[in-house]
Amino acid sequence: MRDAAINLRALPEQRDLIDHAANLLGKNRSDFMLEAACERAQAVVLDQVFFRLDDDKFQQFTAWLDAPPAANPGLERLLTVKAPWQNPSAD
């Protein structure tokens, strides 16, 4: 059971848009807004990239970042394929 209230004001056009989208998904306004807000909040939190390393681990991490990439034959093959708009049509 939910017991924390979240109140906000919106323009009538915003409310109508939210209601329309919620109805398309078979949800009520509150469920739709809470789901959308939580998805956005999770994305913001996951975008935070702070992590702590001791000196040794930091040196290992920066060495890994500075190292040349490993060979990747599949990627190399993919990069040699021309895009469809680069190939003249045989018509």
Domain count along the chain: 1
Domain hosting 34: range is 9-56
Domain-located, residue 78: no
What is the reported pTM?
0.54
Distance in angstroms (rounded) separating the CA atoms of residues 25 and 87: 42
Distance in angstroms (rounded) separating the CA atoms of residues 48 and 51: 9
Write down the H helix ranges in the chain: 12-24, 29-46, 55-66, 73-80
Q: What pLDDT, in 10s, does the model give residues 45-66?
A: 988 877 789 999 999 999 999 9
- Res. 40: pLDDT tops 70: yes
Distance in angstroms (rounded) separating the CA atoms of residues 91 and 87: 12
Q: What pLDDT, in 10s, does the model give residues 21-39?
A: 999 999 999 999 999 999 9
Domain-located, residue 13: yes
Domain-located, residue 66: no
Domain-located, residue 20: yes
User: Position 63: which residue type?
Assistant: A
